[in-house]
């Protein structure tokens, strides 16, 4: 029995709809939405199977420009196998040391040029997987541009989005110019460039790109284009411009998408316009747009900043139900809200949220807020635990209000030795010192009739250049009077007179 000759991989992929010599589609979507602006124009969700391919093209047996019948046949391959091969390359590249590794050796070692000859889908998939390290992705795209066939518009759009993530608008503009030279720009390419300018904070450049898109006879703005402008104006606190852009979107005939509402909510959140933020959210609920995880997290953050604790907790429950988790950024926002605003059982809720954070997930401002809230609640042990953690991580407290909260907590508990130890730690760590620290020590030492240690505080004040005030002498006078030591008390009154402070009307020499 004679064997049938093995079909080439390229021909097999064409028959399965995985390779198209005229239109290349990515695994994720047809268009590449800009980062941060959810697109609703993609015909299938990311990483889902592509739609049913069209009937086989009679010309599908032709070889592409980068292939020839003289080349050895490639082994059969499916989309899953191609993805697995690309994932292996991505894992190898992501393991390279930062900041600017050379990806060429790994790409050659993993036969990336061969995979690219099979289908340009390999390039799109690889660039998508390198989003966590956008500069590495740009280096891979530079290597890929030297190979055949030439990059498609989708690849250029994805590369521009990588430049956007890298906060490199100059690279994005250069890629757009190269793509416009080789192809006719489409909406996805313009949107990717606008997103790069938006993330770079280049308002004028983003507007110029939008107007260029409006003037282009081959295409015009779509809803993603307007969403980018809305997000740009919201980030820039230009609320009037943001609302005007929303009206322009409505007048254009394009329906609002989830990305539109999220951008508007984010804009009002940035401007701290809580009523309008909530009104947009209620409009979503009453309309045909279902809020997604991003919406719920935006509302959570807005309610947290506004001190609307009950609504914040509801938003947390919705986000957790929708996504199965809430990231550390929003956990910290909730912790900040509980620390700043009084609420029933807030310490218990703080403790529960802290269990979800790892040791490296804390921030200096969070340590400060935790110290202050435990101090206000009179929980000395919890306060000292947070102080110890802050000192261990070299956090420096720079606000007098926090220091006074700590003083008050120790004073209410009559813990003079703990206060003295804290003052020494604060002095060594470079925390904000104030005269109240030392006055509180003097009052507590006097209360316990530890007069020698009370006098020692004067030397500490002098060491840190805190002058003696009328209150300093008055504290000492009351301490001596309470101990029945009239002579020393009169001496203190004389020192007050000598320093020009005068005597209180209710006090006289005895």
User: Is residue 206 within 8 Å of residue 190, measured between CB atoms?
Assistant: no
Q: Are 230 and 38 in contact (CB under 8 A)?
A: no
pLDDT digits (tens, 9 = 90+) for 375-434: 999 999 999 999 999 999 999 999 999 999 999 999 999 999 999 999 999 999 999 999
Q: Give dist(CA 106, CA 103) in Å, integer.
A: 6
Closest to 211 in 3D by CA, of 199, 221, 197, 196: 221
Q: How many Cβ atoms sit within 10 Å of the Cβ of residue 393?
A: 13
What 3-state DSSP class applies to 306?
helix
Nearest to 41 by CA among 165, 172, 221, 298: 221
- 222 against 76, higher pLDDT: 222
Cα–Cα distance measured from residue 263 to residue 222, given in angstroms and rounded to the nearest whole number: 15
Confidence category of residue 504, pLDDT binned at 50, 70, 90 = low
CB-based burial label for 122 (10 Å; 0-12, 13-18, 19+): buried
pLDDT in tens, 8-48: 333 333 433 434 433 333 333 334 444 545 444 433 333 33
> Would you tell me how many other CB atoms lie within 10 Å of the CB of residue 428?
9
Closest CA to 366 of 347, 339, 400: 339
Cα–Cα distance measured from residue 367 to residue 155, given in angstroms and rounded to the nearest whole number: 44
Q: For residue 406, which of 430, 428, 429, 386 has the smallest C-alpha distance?
A: 386
Least confident of 111-115, 267-271, 275-279: 111-115
| pLDDT band (50, 70, 90) for residue 2 | very low
Q: What is the pLDDT of residue 507?
A: 61
Distance CA 190, CA 180 (A): 10
Q: Which string of b and e fits 318-349 if b means at least 16 CB within 10 Å?
A: bbeebeeebeeebbbbbbbbbbbeebeebeeb
pLDDT in tens, 130-163: 999 999 999 999 999 999 889 999 999 999 999 9
Rg of the chain over CA atoms, in angstroms? 33
Tokens of 451: 């007069």
Indicate the helix (H) or strand (E) that contains 261: helix 258-270
What would the pLDDT profile of 163-177 be if each residue is shown by its tens digit? 999 999 999 999 999
DSSP for residue 509: -
Q: What is the dihedral of CA 271, 197, 35, 145, to 10 degrees?
A: -170
Distance CA 363, CA 162 (A): 28
What are the distances in angstroms from CA 445 to CA 232, 422, 490? 59, 15, 19
Yes or no: say if 418 and 380 are a contact pair by the CB < 8 Å rule.
yes
Q: Are 34 and 1 in contact (CB under 8 A)?
A: no
- pLDDT of 1 strictly over 90: no
Residue whose structure tokens are 């993609």: 42
Q: Which of 67-71, 263-267, 503-507 has the highest mean pLDDT?
A: 263-267
Number of residues assigned to the chain: 510
Contact call for residues 303 and 268 (beta carbons, < 8 A)? no
Q: Report how far apart the first and last C-alpha atoms of the chain are (Å, whole number).
A: 128
Per-residue tokens: 439: 């006055």
Q: Which pLDDT band holds residue 509 (cuts at 50, 70, 90)?
A: low
pLDDT of res. 14: 40
Contact 298, 269 (CB under 8 A): yes
Query: Percentage of the chain with pLDDT > 70?
Result: 83
SS3 280: helix
Question: What DSSP string runs through 389-446?
Answer: HHHHTT-----HHHHHHHHHHHHHTT-HHHHHHHHHHHHHHTPPP-HHHHHHHHHHHH
Q: Which long-range contacts (CB under 8 A, 24 or more apart) does 293-296 make?
A: 293/319, 293/322, 293/323, 294/38, 294/258, 294/262, 295/258, 295/261, 295/262, 295/265, 296/322
Q: Kindly report the backbone phi and psi dihedral angles of residue 414, in degrees, each rounded to the nearest multiple of 5, phi listed first.
A: 55, 40
> d(Cα 40, Cα 68) in Å, to the nearest integer?
39
The whole-chain average pLDDT of the chain stands at 85
Instruction: Please count the other Cβ atoms lying within 10 Å of the Cβ belonging to residue 218.
Output: 8
Does 264 have pLDDT greater than 70?
Answer: yes
């Amino acid at each position: 029995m004679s064997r049938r000759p093995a079909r080439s991989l390229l021909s097999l992929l064409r028959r399965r709809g995985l390779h198209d010599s005229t239109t290349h589609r990515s695994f994720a979507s047809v268009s590449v939405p800009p980062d941060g602006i959810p697109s609703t124009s993609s015909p299938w969700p990311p990483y889902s199977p592509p739609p049913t391919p069209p009937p086989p093209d009679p010309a599908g047996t032709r070889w592409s420009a980068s292939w020839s019948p003289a080349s050895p046949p490639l082994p059969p391959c499916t989309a899953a196998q191609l993805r697995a091969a690309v994932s292996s390359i991505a894992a190898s590249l992501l393991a390279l040391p930062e900041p600017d590794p050379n990806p060429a050796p790994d790409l050659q070692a993993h036969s990336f040029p061969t995979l690219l000859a099979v289908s340009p889908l390999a390039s799109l998939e690889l660039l998508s997987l390198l989003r966590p390290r956008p500069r590495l992705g740009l280096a891979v795209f530079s290597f890929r541009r030297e190979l055949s066939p030439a990059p498609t518009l989708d690849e250029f759009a994805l590369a521009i989005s990588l430049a956007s993530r890298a906060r490199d608008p100059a690279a994005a503009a250069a890629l757009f110019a190269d793509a416009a030279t080789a192809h006719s720009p489409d909406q996805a390419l313009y949107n990717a460039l606008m997103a790069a300018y938006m993330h770079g904070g280049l308002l004028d450049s983003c507007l110029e790109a939008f107007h260029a898109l409006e003037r282009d006879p081959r295409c015009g703005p779509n809803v993603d284009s307007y969403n980018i402008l809305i997000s740009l104006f919201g980030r820039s606190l230009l609320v009037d411009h943001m609302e005007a852009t929303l009206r322009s979107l409505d007048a254009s005939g394009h329906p609002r998408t989830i990305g539109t509402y999220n951008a508007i909510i984010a804009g009002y959140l940035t401007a701290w316009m809580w009523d309008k933020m909530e009104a947009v959210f209620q409009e979503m609920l009453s309309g045909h747009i279902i809020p997604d995880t991003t919406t719920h997290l935006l509302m959570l953050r807005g309610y947290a900043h506004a001190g609307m604790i009950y609504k914040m907790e509801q938003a947390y429950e919705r986000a957790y139900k929708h996504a199965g988790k809430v990231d550390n950024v929003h956990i910290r926002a909730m912790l900040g809200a509980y620390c700043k605003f009084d609420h029933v059982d807030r310490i218990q809720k703080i403790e529960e949220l802290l269990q979800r954070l790892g040791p490296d997930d804390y921030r200096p401002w969070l340590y400060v807020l935790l110290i202050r809230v435990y101090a206000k609640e009179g929980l000395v042990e919890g306060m000292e635990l947070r102080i110890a953690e802050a000192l261990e991580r070299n956090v420096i407290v720079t606000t007098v209000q926090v220091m006074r909260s700590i003083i008050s907590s120790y004073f209410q508990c009559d813990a003079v030795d703990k206060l003295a130890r804290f003052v020494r730690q604060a002095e060594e760590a470079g925390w904000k010192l104030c005269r109240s620290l030392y006055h509180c020590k003097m009052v507590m030492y006097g209360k316990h009739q530890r007069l020698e240690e009370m006098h020692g505080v004067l030397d500490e004040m002098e060491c840190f250049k805190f002058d003696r005030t009328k209150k300093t002498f008055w504290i000492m006078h009351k301490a001596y009077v309470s101990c029945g030591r009239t002579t020393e008390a009169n001496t203190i009154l004389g020192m007050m007179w000598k320093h020009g402070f005068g005597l209180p009307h209710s006090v006289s020499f005895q």
